[in-house]
Structure 1
Amino acid sequence: MPARPAPSAPLREIEFVGLMAAIQALQALAIDVMLPALGHISRDLNVTDPNERQLVVGIFLICSGLGSLFPGAIGDRFGRRPVVLSCLGVYVAISLASALVTDFTALLILRGLLGFFTSGMMVMPMAIIRDRFSGDRMARVQSLVAMTFMVVPMLAPTVGQAVLLVADWRWIFGVMALLAAGVAFWTFMRLPETLHEEHRQTIMPRTIIGNMVAAVRCRAALGYFLGASFIQGALFGYINSSQQLVAEHFGAGVLFPFVFGGMALVMSGTNFVNSRIVERFGARRVSHMATIAYLVVAGAHLAWAMSGETLWVFVPLMTISMCLMSFISANYQSIALQPFARTAGAAASVMAFVRLLLGALLGTLIGQAYDGTARPLLAAMTVAGVIALGLVLYSERGVLFRRLNAPARPTVNPKS
């Protein structure tokens, strides 16, 4: 990987947030930009089962989860910057290859490879943020990154729809490659190495496994990243089935990208609100209240759906749930990473592995359970909320609403 001296002008927070968001957003782009094209892809590649088209998204998510187990340990040894640049290069190459496929199975293989080999684009920004920040300030920065990142889900289906208006669906992969090349250039020119020399780890299986086991055994973190996995699984379930549910069942049709994007825009605004309040109230208090509210809203929405609903009932209630997911995701992630300053890469990897793989598997199952109504999705969301609340109570030893920087116990052992 070519080396480059640190930029003469250091990254200000606004550029840092933008760059971290851009790196992560390419992963979201690989999911959401495809949604308007799923019908076109299934027709061109002779896919007969309407639910099978969801695998273009589901396979990518599952392989992203599997792949995320590795980049953290590599980043803890060689640094964050080489991993990010390598992932971006692979993203460009596989996107271009995907534009040339003539077989649905080949497309799924390429989607799996893309997810696996570019998973570091989700893992490394988490580690880089932890390198630079801690505590509730880390939660604030993560919320700002998530806010910027969420602009992509807002725009991606519209971009995909715009491409389809003037070109074949294959050109969507060309757009992905072009955007990734631009982010790679920005990263190469402006991102310094953030891993402290004294924190570099050896590439020894025993060390890597030990660091990952320590992350999994940390009670203070375990409930949060497992809880985030179930909430993310519910969100992935919505993404997987959104085109069928919103465009077809509720009849949004060509308005689907705008409905989907509008919901993402509101969700993005929620992250901005979180960034403004989290340092005042603390990540724990904000996320605990959001979890309880999410559970109430999801349960009420399910009850409403049992007697039937329209698009204009579904969209507001689902948007509220997505906003609460934003509060939960950003703060759970920051709380879970807090104990791991020296091994942030390994911790971020194992957490991303569990969150993405479990979330993707759950999301795929939820998507495949689609029965022409919103009821399977809403039932899964309600169950996910119950499980997440129980896991948080486990990590917090039954006590909610404590401040992140004010633990109840004077000593915290990561293995306790």
Structure 2
Amino acid sequence: MSTPTEHPDPRSATPGATSDTLTDGTTNDPTSSVTSSAAPTAPVVPDAAAPRSLTKYVLLLGSMCALPAISTDIYLPSLPEVAHDLGTTATAAQLTMTGMLIGAAAGQLVIGPTSDRFGRRRPVLVGVAAHVVTSLLCMVAPTIGLLIGLRTAQGFFNASASVVAMAVIRDRFVGSTASRLLSRLMLVIGVAPLFAPSIGGLIAGQAGWRAVFGALALFGAGLWVVVWRRLPETLPADRRRHGGLRTALGGYRRLVTDRHFVALALLPSLGVAVLMSYVVASPFVLREGYGLSAAQFSLLFAVNGLGLVGGAQVNAALVRRVSPIRIVRVVQPLSVTLTLLLLVLALTGAGGLPALLVVLWGILALVNFVPPNASALALSRHGQIAGTAAAFIGALQSGVSGVISPVSGLLGGDAVAMAVVMVAAATGGLLVLALATPAYRRGGAWTGQI
């Protein structure tokens, strides 16, 4: 993989220093000029020197980020069969999903500092190899308790792929380029919820639910080979953080005391909350509430998935001309407006199902505008501990997903419940942006390019 010309960035000239002013990423890290004799490294690329084509990074890092999503979605159709085969309840079978989310949250918190200490390649190679092993063990799990434990471990190790992918982006790309790359990744990641359930259902229908884990093992093995051959080490030895638990905790302490970073890290999580309320509630809302058949629901789910992916690609093109923070501060109130409109339609029934679907599609099309921009801005504040910062952001998203998943069901599982959760999450994001950042203040530090 070729590496572009390096350009220094005064932001990271002092290790451990942070800036209260977010830039659009036209500069980068001076320490990127330090290379390790042990492995080839990739320097940070500013917007002005960004390569014309990011295809290689999109495919490689997108496949890494998609591993947790594929591991979740390909297994969804097998839940009833798992419960029946292992002689357990549907609730216990669903715990295999909850366990994976909990494992992912814990894994990201551990693997992030590990990648800052040992570099990016080793943690992801170990993590993906462990994914293969746990997938094979899931194939032969004799009890639901053991399967839950293995799925939790699988979530822990899968986190290595997504954490390292985000850290690599911060190591090499900054500002609008990083935001654009994150948006392009959504195209790869977005394929998982579109096709993984159908593929998983087909495999389970032909060979049983255990064969689904065999497919996951094969995918993991292929990903391991690609990472081993194609992923460069982007964190030179001279930039790695040395130390053990105290150093890792010190990194997290540094992050949580940066309120602007925490605010930006929360925005992707609240975006995930909007999405999760739809994913969890939509089968009940559309099939039971509006009488759609399984085929109609699958088609509609795919159409909405295209909205998610399409929105991400529009954002990727938009950040070439508009600063990431400007996009965030425009899209967030628009999301609140659409979720409130959805709630009104759900309460009144005005326009029937067509009106509900149009507004819902609009909400989902906006979901992927805020997370890549907010994540890129958050990561830009802590380039020296990009792995730890990426882990913090990812753990928040996994944790929020685990918490949000049952809420719409507890509220009744209908269209009103789904809309209420969406309104709460979108409004929460707007409040965080308005109260915890200077994004809407006149002369705010983050609005210099607007």
Which of the five TM-score ranges fits, normalised by the shorter chain?
0.7 to 0.9
Aligned 8 A contact 1:54 1:367 in 2:
no
Output aligned runs, 1:295-374, within 5 Å.
Answer: 295-308=336-349, 312-357=354-399, 359-366=400-407, 368-369=409-410, 371-374=412-415
Q: Distance in 1 between matches of 2:86 and 2:75?
A: 15
Match of 1:198 among 227, 238, 245: 238
Q: Which has the larger radius of gyration?
A: 2
What letter is aligned with 1:71? I
Structure 1 regions of 5+ residues with no counterpart?
409-416
Moved more, 273-282 or 393-402: 393-402
Is 1:68 the counterpart of 2:108? The answer is yes
Which residue number in structure 1 is paired with residue 9 of structure 2?
Answer: none
Which residue number in structure 2 is paired with residue 413 of structure 1?
Answer: none
Kindly state the Cα deviation for residue 84 of structure 1 after the two structures are TM-superposed. 0.9
What letter is aligned with 2:106? L
What letter is aligned with 2:66? A
Q: TM-score, normalised by structure 1?
A: 0.88
Is 1:111 the counterpart of 2:151? The answer is yes
Q: Deviations over 1:148-170 (max 9, x none)?
A: 22112211112122223422122
Which residue number in structure 2 is paired with residue 175 of structure 1?
Answer: 215
Which residue number in structure 2 is paired with residue 231 of structure 1?
Answer: 271
What letter is aligned with 2:56? E
Q: Deviations over 1:117-152 (max 9, x none)?
A: 221222111100000011111101111112222112
Q: Deviations over 1:187-220 (max 9, x none)?
A: 1111110013332101233322222111122222
Change (3 A) 1:290 1:368: same
Change (3 A) 1:318 1:101: farther
Which residue number in structure 1 is paired with residue 27 of structure 2?
Answer: none
Kindly state the Cα deviation for residue 394 of structure 1 after the two structures are TM-superposed. 2.8
% same residue: 26
Q: Distance in 2 between matches of 1:280 and 1:401?
A: 21
What letter is aligned with 2:223? V
Q: Distance in 2 between matches of 1:82 and 1:113?
A: 18
Kindly state the Cα deviation for residue 259 of structure 1 after the two structures are TM-superposed. 3.0
Q: Distance in 1 between matches of 2:70 and 2:443?
A: 36
Which residue number in structure 2 is paired with residue 101 of structure 1?
Answer: 141
Change (3 A) 1:319 1:40: farther
Q: 3-state DSSP class of the match of 2:319?
A: helix
Aligned 8 A contact 2:119 2:237 in 1:
no
What letter is aligned with 1:217? T
What letter is aligned with 1:348? A
Q: TM-score, normalised by structure 2?
A: 0.82
What letter is aligned with 1:317? V
Which residue number in structure 2 is paired with residue 412 of structure 1?
Answer: none
Change (3 A) 1:156 1:317: farther
Which residue number in structure 2 is paired with residue 152 of structure 1?
Answer: 192
Q: Distance in 2 between matches of 1:392 and 1:258?
A: 35
Q: Distance in 1 between matches of 2:68 and 2:97?
A: 11
Q: Distance in 2 between matches of 1:54 and 1:237?
A: 16
Aligned 8 A contact 1:285 1:403 in 2:
no
Q: Deviations over 1:227-249 (max 9, x none)?
A: 32222133233333444444555
Kindly state the Cα deviation for residue 364 of structure 1 after the two structures are TM-superposed. 2.9
Structure 2 regions of 5+ residues with no counterpart?
1-37, 42-50
Match of 1:20 among 54, 58, 61: 61
Superposition CA RMSD, Å:
2.7
Q: Distance in 2 between matches of 1:100 and 1:401?
A: 60
Aligned 8 A contact 2:109 2:395 in 1:
yes
Output aligned runs, 1:55-94, within 5 Å.
Answer: 55-94=95-134
What letter is aligned with 2:254? A
Change (3 A) 1:152 1:400: farther
Q: Distance in 1 between matches of 2:416 and 2:304?
A: 19
Q: 3-state DSSP class of the match of 2:184?
A: helix
What letter is aligned with 1:379? V
Change (3 A) 1:242 1:400: farther
Kindly state the Cα deviation for residue 107 of structure 1 after the two structures are TM-superposed. 2.0
Aligned 8 A contact 1:75 1:124 in 2:
yes
Is 1:294 the counterpart of 2:335? The answer is yes
Change (3 A) 1:211 1:141: same
Change (3 A) 1:47 1:98: same
